[in-house]
Copies of this chain bind each other. A is one copy, B any other.
Amino acid sequence: MKIEGQHRRAIEALSDQHAVRIIDQTALPHQLTWLTLETLADAANAIKVMQVRGAPLIGATAAYGLAFAMAKSGSDASLEKGYDTLLATRPTAVNLRWALDRVRAVLQPLASKLRAEAAWAEAGKIAEEDVKANQTIGGHGHRVFREVLADKMGGGVLNILTHCNAGWLACVDWGTAVAPIYQAHDAGLKVHVWVSETRPRGQGASLTAWELKQHGVPHTLIVDNEAGHLIQRGLVDLCIVGADRVASNGDVANKIGTYLKALACKTHHVPFYVALPSSTIDWTIRNGIKEIPIEQRSAREVTHVSGLNAKGVREEVLICPEGTQARNDGFDVTPGRYITELITEYGTFSTNATDMRRLRLAAGL
Protein backbone atom coordinates (compact mmCIF):
# COMPACT_ATOMS: atom_id res chain seq x y z
CA MET A 1 0.00 0.00 0.00
CA LYS A 2 1.02 3.61 0.07
CA ILE A 3 3.83 5.35 1.94
CA GLU A 4 3.80 9.07 1.25
CA GLY A 5 1.86 8.44 -1.93
CA GLN A 6 4.19 5.72 -3.27
CA HIS A 7 3.18 2.10 -3.51
CA ARG A 8 5.47 -0.16 -1.47
CA ARG A 9 5.48 -3.69 -0.07
CA ALA A 10 6.48 -4.86 3.40
CA ILE A 11 9.06 -7.18 1.83
CA GLU A 12 10.60 -6.37 -1.55
CA ALA A 13 12.85 -8.77 -3.49
CA LEU A 14 16.10 -7.36 -4.84
CA SER A 15 16.48 -10.05 -7.49
CA ASP A 16 19.84 -8.92 -8.86
CA GLN A 17 21.39 -9.27 -5.40
CA HIS A 18 19.42 -12.28 -4.12
CA ALA A 19 18.50 -10.14 -1.16
CA VAL A 20 15.28 -8.60 0.20
CA ARG A 21 14.42 -5.22 1.61
CA ILE A 22 12.15 -4.95 4.67
CA ILE A 23 10.88 -2.10 6.84
CA ASP A 24 12.30 -2.21 10.36
CA GLN A 25 8.91 -2.30 12.06
CA THR A 26 10.41 -1.79 15.52
CA ALA A 27 11.29 1.78 14.45
CA LEU A 28 7.78 2.68 13.29
CA PRO A 29 5.84 4.94 13.54
CA HIS A 30 8.56 7.44 14.34
CA GLN A 31 11.10 6.41 11.73
CA LEU A 32 10.88 4.65 8.38
CA THR A 33 14.01 2.53 7.95
CA TRP A 34 14.51 -0.02 5.18
CA LEU A 35 16.86 -2.92 5.98
CA THR A 36 18.48 -5.34 3.55
CA LEU A 37 18.48 -9.04 4.50
CA GLU A 38 20.88 -11.34 2.67
CA THR A 39 21.79 -14.19 5.03
CA LEU A 40 20.00 -16.87 6.99
CA ALA A 41 21.08 -15.11 10.19
CA ASP A 42 19.66 -11.80 8.92
CA ALA A 43 16.28 -13.37 8.22
CA ALA A 44 16.12 -15.34 11.48
CA ASN A 45 17.08 -12.26 13.47
CA ALA A 46 14.56 -10.03 11.71
CA ILE A 47 11.77 -12.46 12.65
CA LYS A 48 13.02 -12.99 16.19
CA VAL A 49 13.40 -9.32 17.11
CA MET A 50 10.18 -8.52 15.26
CA GLN A 51 11.61 -6.20 12.63
CA VAL A 52 9.13 -8.22 10.61
CA ARG A 53 6.01 -9.58 12.30
CA GLY A 54 2.54 -10.73 11.35
CA ALA A 55 1.97 -14.35 10.37
CA PRO A 56 2.04 -13.95 6.54
CA LEU A 57 5.10 -11.68 6.53
CA ILE A 58 6.93 -14.04 8.87
CA GLY A 59 6.18 -16.86 6.41
CA ALA A 60 7.49 -14.93 3.41
CA THR A 61 10.59 -13.77 5.27
CA ALA A 62 11.33 -17.32 6.42
CA ALA A 63 11.01 -18.59 2.85
CA TYR A 64 13.59 -16.02 1.70
CA GLY A 65 15.73 -16.96 4.71
CA LEU A 66 15.86 -20.54 3.47
CA ALA A 67 16.80 -19.24 0.01
CA PHE A 68 19.70 -17.30 1.61
CA ALA A 69 20.86 -20.50 3.34
CA MET A 70 20.76 -22.34 0.00
CA ALA A 71 22.75 -19.57 -1.69
CA LYS A 72 25.54 -20.27 0.79
CA SER A 73 25.28 -24.07 0.55
CA GLY A 74 22.67 -26.27 -1.06
CA SER A 75 23.56 -29.32 1.05
CA ASP A 76 21.02 -31.34 3.01
CA ALA A 77 22.74 -30.23 6.22
CA SER A 78 22.42 -26.58 5.24
CA LEU A 79 18.76 -27.10 4.37
CA GLU A 80 18.01 -28.74 7.71
CA LYS A 81 19.96 -26.15 9.66
CA GLY A 82 18.19 -23.31 7.86
CA TYR A 83 14.81 -24.93 8.43
CA ASP A 84 15.44 -25.50 12.14
CA THR A 85 16.93 -22.06 12.75
CA LEU A 86 14.00 -20.28 11.15
CA LEU A 87 11.36 -22.50 12.73
CA ALA A 88 12.73 -21.73 16.20
CA THR A 89 12.31 -17.96 15.85
CA ARG A 90 8.60 -17.68 16.81
CA PRO A 91 6.37 -20.46 18.17
CA THR A 92 2.75 -19.40 17.50
CA ALA A 93 2.44 -18.33 13.86
CA VAL A 94 1.73 -21.36 11.73
CA ASN A 95 2.62 -19.66 8.43
CA LEU A 96 6.23 -19.91 9.48
CA ARG A 97 6.18 -23.70 9.42
CA TRP A 98 3.85 -23.73 6.44
CA ALA A 99 6.26 -21.62 4.34
CA LEU A 100 9.33 -23.58 5.47
CA ASP A 101 7.65 -26.92 4.73
CA ARG A 102 6.62 -25.71 1.31
CA VAL A 103 10.10 -24.52 0.31
CA ARG A 104 11.77 -27.61 1.76
CA ALA A 105 9.41 -29.91 -0.14
CA VAL A 106 10.42 -28.19 -3.39
CA LEU A 107 14.13 -28.41 -2.56
CA GLN A 108 14.46 -31.93 -1.19
CA PRO A 109 14.18 -33.78 -4.53
CA LEU A 110 16.63 -31.37 -6.22
CA ALA A 111 20.38 -31.65 -6.61
CA SER A 112 22.08 -29.33 -4.16
CA LYS A 113 23.42 -26.97 -6.84
CA LEU A 114 19.87 -26.34 -8.12
CA ARG A 115 18.45 -25.51 -4.72
CA ALA A 116 19.45 -21.84 -4.41
CA GLU A 117 17.57 -20.80 -7.56
CA ALA A 118 14.58 -22.99 -6.75
CA ALA A 119 14.33 -21.63 -3.21
CA TRP A 120 14.51 -18.05 -4.42
CA ALA A 121 11.76 -18.72 -6.97
CA GLU A 122 9.56 -20.49 -4.42
CA ALA A 123 9.94 -17.67 -1.88
CA GLY A 124 8.94 -15.23 -4.59
CA LYS A 125 5.89 -17.34 -5.39
CA ILE A 126 4.89 -17.40 -1.72
CA ALA A 127 5.11 -13.60 -1.60
CA GLU A 128 3.10 -13.16 -4.81
CA GLU A 129 0.46 -15.63 -3.71
CA ASP A 130 0.17 -13.80 -0.40
CA VAL A 131 -0.50 -10.53 -2.21
CA LYS A 132 -3.11 -12.17 -4.39
CA ALA A 133 -4.76 -14.00 -1.47
CA ASN A 134 -4.97 -10.81 0.56
CA GLN A 135 -6.38 -8.84 -2.32
CA THR A 136 -9.06 -11.50 -2.66
CA ILE A 137 -9.68 -11.47 1.12
CA GLY A 138 -10.06 -7.69 0.83
CA GLY A 139 -12.73 -8.14 -1.84
CA HIS A 140 -14.73 -10.64 0.21
CA GLY A 141 -14.41 -8.47 3.31
CA HIS A 142 -15.47 -5.39 1.39
CA ARG A 143 -18.66 -7.19 0.38
CA VAL A 144 -19.28 -8.17 4.02
CA PHE A 145 -18.77 -4.54 5.08
CA ARG A 146 -21.35 -3.35 2.56
CA GLU A 147 -23.84 -5.88 3.93
CA VAL A 148 -23.26 -4.75 7.53
CA LEU A 149 -23.64 -1.10 6.51
CA ALA A 150 -26.83 -1.89 4.61
CA ASP A 151 -28.26 -3.39 7.81
CA LYS A 152 -27.20 -0.41 9.93
CA MET A 153 -30.07 1.74 11.05
CA GLY A 154 -29.56 5.11 9.41
CA GLY A 155 -26.53 4.01 7.38
CA GLY A 156 -23.80 6.65 7.39
CA VAL A 157 -20.32 5.79 8.58
CA LEU A 158 -19.27 2.19 9.17
CA ASN A 159 -17.40 2.00 12.49
CA ILE A 160 -14.87 -0.81 12.44
CA LEU A 161 -12.88 -2.02 15.43
CA THR A 162 -9.56 -3.74 14.85
CA HIS A 163 -6.83 -5.01 17.16
CA CYS A 164 -3.08 -5.22 16.73
CA ASN A 165 -1.82 -4.92 13.16
CA ALA A 166 -3.22 -7.18 10.49
CA GLY A 167 -2.49 -4.61 7.82
CA TRP A 168 -0.10 -4.66 4.92
CA LEU A 169 2.82 -4.41 7.34
CA ALA A 170 1.83 -7.85 8.67
CA CYS A 171 1.79 -9.30 5.14
CA VAL A 172 3.52 -8.64 1.86
CA ASP A 173 0.84 -6.17 0.80
CA TRP A 174 -2.83 -5.32 1.49
CA GLY A 175 -3.04 -6.98 4.88
CA THR A 176 -5.65 -9.43 6.06
CA ALA A 177 -8.06 -7.65 8.42
CA VAL A 178 -7.16 -4.23 7.01
CA ALA A 179 -7.36 -5.26 3.33
CA PRO A 180 -11.18 -4.91 3.26
CA ILE A 181 -10.85 -1.53 4.97
CA TYR A 182 -8.54 -0.27 2.21
CA GLN A 183 -10.79 -1.63 -0.50
CA ALA A 184 -13.94 -0.20 1.10
CA HIS A 185 -12.29 3.18 1.62
CA ASP A 186 -10.86 3.28 -1.90
CA ALA A 187 -14.32 2.40 -3.26
CA GLY A 188 -15.84 5.40 -1.46
CA LEU A 189 -17.51 3.64 1.48
CA LYS A 190 -17.45 5.88 4.56
CA VAL A 191 -15.39 3.92 7.06
CA HIS A 192 -13.96 4.91 10.43
CA VAL A 193 -11.56 2.62 12.27
CA TRP A 194 -11.20 2.27 16.05
CA VAL A 195 -7.54 1.35 16.43
CA SER A 196 -6.91 -0.61 19.61
CA GLU A 197 -3.49 0.29 21.04
CA THR A 198 -2.50 -3.38 21.61
CA ARG A 199 -0.35 -3.42 24.69
CA PRO A 200 2.28 -4.57 25.41
CA ARG A 201 4.00 -3.88 22.09
CA GLY A 202 1.49 -1.35 20.84
CA GLN A 203 1.23 -2.54 17.24
CA GLY A 204 -2.17 -0.85 16.92
CA ALA A 205 -0.82 2.52 18.01
CA SER A 206 2.47 2.27 16.17
CA LEU A 207 1.68 0.26 13.01
CA THR A 208 -2.05 0.26 12.24
CA ALA A 209 -2.41 3.97 13.02
CA TRP A 210 0.63 4.66 10.83
CA GLU A 211 -0.68 2.58 7.92
CA LEU A 212 -4.12 4.13 8.04
CA LYS A 213 -2.67 7.62 8.26
CA GLN A 214 -0.38 6.99 5.26
CA HIS A 215 -3.35 5.75 3.25
CA GLY A 216 -5.73 8.48 4.48
CA VAL A 217 -8.30 6.26 6.20
CA PRO A 218 -10.16 8.02 9.09
CA HIS A 219 -9.30 6.41 12.42
CA THR A 220 -9.24 7.01 16.18
CA LEU A 221 -6.79 5.46 18.62
CA ILE A 222 -8.17 3.89 21.80
CA VAL A 223 -6.65 2.03 24.73
CA ASP A 224 -7.43 -1.68 24.80
CA ASN A 225 -9.73 -1.09 27.79
CA GLU A 226 -12.12 1.05 25.68
CA ALA A 227 -13.48 -1.72 23.47
CA GLY A 228 -16.16 -2.94 25.90
CA HIS A 229 -17.55 0.53 26.44
CA LEU A 230 -17.66 1.44 22.73
CA ILE A 231 -19.34 -1.85 21.84
CA GLN A 232 -21.86 -1.49 24.68
CA ARG A 233 -22.74 2.02 23.49
CA GLY A 234 -23.36 0.96 19.89
CA LEU A 235 -20.29 2.74 18.54
CA VAL A 236 -18.87 -0.34 16.83
CA ASP A 237 -20.62 -1.85 13.79
CA LEU A 238 -18.20 -4.72 13.33
CA CYS A 239 -14.90 -6.01 14.59
CA ILE A 240 -12.29 -7.52 12.29
CA VAL A 241 -8.94 -9.00 13.27
CA GLY A 242 -6.26 -11.19 11.76
CA ALA A 243 -5.02 -14.53 13.06
CA ASP A 244 -1.73 -16.14 13.97
CA ARG A 245 -3.04 -19.67 13.89
CA VAL A 246 -6.50 -21.14 13.36
CA ALA A 247 -7.36 -24.67 14.47
CA SER A 248 -9.48 -27.02 12.41
CA ASN A 249 -12.37 -26.43 14.84
CA GLY A 250 -12.29 -22.70 14.07
CA ASP A 251 -10.58 -21.59 17.29
CA VAL A 252 -8.43 -18.55 16.54
CA ALA A 253 -5.10 -17.69 18.16
CA ASN A 254 -4.44 -14.01 17.71
CA LYS A 255 -2.76 -11.16 19.61
CA ILE A 256 -3.47 -11.10 23.33
CA GLY A 257 -6.68 -9.14 23.97
CA THR A 258 -8.55 -10.42 20.92
CA TYR A 259 -10.66 -12.74 23.08
CA LEU A 260 -11.98 -9.90 25.28
CA LYS A 261 -13.17 -8.06 22.16
CA ALA A 262 -14.86 -11.19 20.85
CA LEU A 263 -16.69 -11.62 24.18
CA ALA A 264 -17.97 -8.05 24.06
CA CYS A 265 -19.06 -8.41 20.43
CA LYS A 266 -20.94 -11.63 21.22
CA THR A 267 -22.70 -10.01 24.18
CA HIS A 268 -23.86 -7.05 22.11
CA HIS A 269 -24.56 -8.89 18.84
CA VAL A 270 -21.82 -7.08 16.95
CA PRO A 271 -20.38 -9.25 14.16
CA PHE A 272 -16.82 -10.43 14.76
CA TYR A 273 -14.76 -11.37 11.71
CA VAL A 274 -11.36 -12.99 11.37
CA ALA A 275 -9.56 -12.37 8.07
CA LEU A 276 -6.84 -14.83 7.08
CA PRO A 277 -5.19 -16.61 4.21
CA SER A 278 -5.99 -20.33 4.43
CA SER A 279 -2.28 -20.97 5.12
CA THR A 280 -2.94 -19.70 8.65
CA ILE A 281 -5.12 -22.72 9.37
CA ASP A 282 -3.36 -25.58 11.13
CA TRP A 283 -5.48 -28.57 10.12
CA THR A 284 -3.46 -30.83 12.43
CA ILE A 285 -4.89 -29.05 15.47
CA ARG A 286 -8.36 -30.15 16.49
CA ASN A 287 -8.87 -27.96 19.53
CA GLY A 288 -7.27 -24.53 19.44
CA ILE A 289 -7.64 -23.73 23.14
CA LYS A 290 -6.05 -26.99 24.23
CA GLU A 291 -3.39 -27.39 21.57
CA ILE A 292 -2.13 -24.09 20.13
CA PRO A 293 1.10 -23.18 21.93
CA ILE A 294 1.07 -19.68 23.42
CA GLU A 295 4.32 -17.78 23.21
CA GLN A 296 5.56 -16.43 26.54
CA ARG A 297 7.30 -13.13 25.96
CA SER A 298 9.56 -11.04 28.14
CA ALA A 299 8.35 -9.18 31.23
CA ARG A 300 10.15 -6.09 29.99
CA GLU A 301 7.53 -5.57 27.28
CA VAL A 302 4.98 -5.16 30.08
CA THR A 303 7.05 -3.14 32.55
CA HIS A 304 8.40 -0.72 29.93
CA VAL A 305 6.89 1.31 27.10
CA SER A 306 8.83 2.62 24.15
CA GLY A 307 8.11 5.87 22.36
CA LEU A 308 9.40 9.24 21.27
CA ASN A 309 10.42 11.66 24.01
CA ALA A 310 9.96 15.43 23.90
CA LYS A 311 13.30 15.78 22.11
CA GLY A 312 12.19 13.41 19.35
CA VAL A 313 14.45 10.60 20.55
CA ARG A 314 13.17 7.06 20.93
CA GLU A 315 13.23 6.03 24.56
CA GLU A 316 11.94 3.27 26.78
CA VAL A 317 10.27 4.22 30.07
CA LEU A 318 9.55 2.11 33.15
CA ILE A 319 5.87 2.33 34.15
CA CYS A 320 5.85 0.36 37.42
CA PRO A 321 8.06 -0.02 40.50
CA GLU A 322 11.54 -1.26 39.61
CA GLY A 323 11.74 -5.06 39.82
CA THR A 324 8.01 -5.71 39.38
CA GLN A 325 7.29 -9.22 38.11
CA ALA A 326 5.15 -9.48 34.99
CA ARG A 327 3.50 -12.13 32.84
CA ASN A 328 3.32 -11.69 29.10
CA ASP A 329 1.36 -14.14 26.95
CA GLY A 330 1.74 -13.09 23.33
CA PHE A 331 -1.58 -14.50 22.17
CA ASP A 332 -4.95 -15.70 23.33
CA VAL A 333 -7.39 -18.12 21.74
CA THR A 334 -10.92 -17.14 20.79
CA PRO A 335 -13.27 -20.12 20.52
CA GLY A 336 -14.76 -20.59 17.07
CA ARG A 337 -18.30 -20.06 18.35
CA TYR A 338 -17.54 -16.37 18.96
CA ILE A 339 -16.57 -15.80 15.35
CA THR A 340 -19.27 -14.68 12.94
CA GLU A 341 -17.25 -15.62 9.88
CA LEU A 342 -13.74 -16.38 8.73
CA ILE A 343 -12.92 -14.25 5.69
CA THR A 344 -10.45 -16.13 3.47
CA GLU A 345 -9.20 -16.05 -0.10
CA TYR A 346 -11.86 -18.72 -0.81
CA GLY A 347 -14.71 -16.60 0.53
CA THR A 348 -16.43 -16.46 3.91
CA PHE A 349 -16.98 -19.46 6.16
CA SER A 350 -18.64 -20.10 9.52
CA THR A 351 -16.64 -22.08 12.04
CA ASN A 352 -19.11 -24.94 12.23
CA ALA A 353 -17.86 -28.38 11.19
CA THR A 354 -19.59 -28.32 7.80
CA ASP A 355 -18.16 -24.96 6.81
CA MET A 356 -14.68 -25.84 8.07
CA ARG A 357 -14.80 -28.98 5.92
CA ARG A 358 -15.92 -26.90 2.95
CA LEU A 359 -13.00 -24.52 3.54
CA ARG A 360 -10.54 -27.40 3.76
CA LEU A 361 -11.79 -28.77 0.47
CA ALA A 362 -11.55 -25.33 -1.13
CA ALA A 363 -7.93 -25.15 0.02
CA GLY A 364 -7.34 -28.58 -1.53
CA LEU A 365 -6.21 -30.13 1.76
Contact = CB atoms under 8 A, between A and B. Distances in A.
A255 B224 CA distance: 13
Contacts of A294: 229
Interface stretch (A82-90, A121-129, A179-187, A196-204): A196-204
Interface stretch (A19-27, A68-76, A147-155, A205-213): A205-213
Interface stretch (A56-64, A98-106, A297-305, A341-349): A297-305
Given A320-B206, A321-B29, A220 B289 contact: no
Given A224-B223, A256-B229, A213 B305 contact: no
Given A263-B260, A310-B315, A224 B225 contact: yes
Interface string A259-270: 110011001000
B316 A205 contact: no
A190 interface: no
A108 interface: no
A111 interface: no
A305 to B, nearest CB: 4
Nearest to A303: B221
A257 B209 contact: no
B307 A223 contact: no
A352 interface: no
A227 B223 CA distance: 15
A365 interface: no
A325 B228 CA distance: 19
Interface stretch (A166-174, A237-245, A327-335): A327-335
B302 A221 contact: yes
A81 B176 CA distance: 57
Contacts of A29: 320-321
Given A213-B321, A229-B259, A289-B232, A221 B326 contact: yes
A361 interface: no
25 contacts: A29-B320, A202-B320, A206-B320, A213-B324, A219-B324, A219-B325, A220-B325, A222-B328, A223-B302, A223-B328, A224-B257, A229-B259, A229-B333, A232-B289, A263-B263, A304-B307, A305-B305, A305-B317, A306-B317, A307-B317, A307-B319, A308-B318, A309-B315, A309-B317, A310-B316
Interface of A: 29-30, 194, 197-200, 202, 205-206, 209-210, 213, 219-230, 232, 255-257, 259-260, 263-264, 267, 289, 294, 299, 302-310, 315-321, 324-329, 331-333
Given A223-B256, A305-B319, 14 more contacts: A29-B320, A194-B327, A199-B223, A200-B225, A202-B319, A205-B320, A206-B319, A219-B324, A220-B327, A221-B302, A221-B326, A225-B256, A229-B294, A307-B318
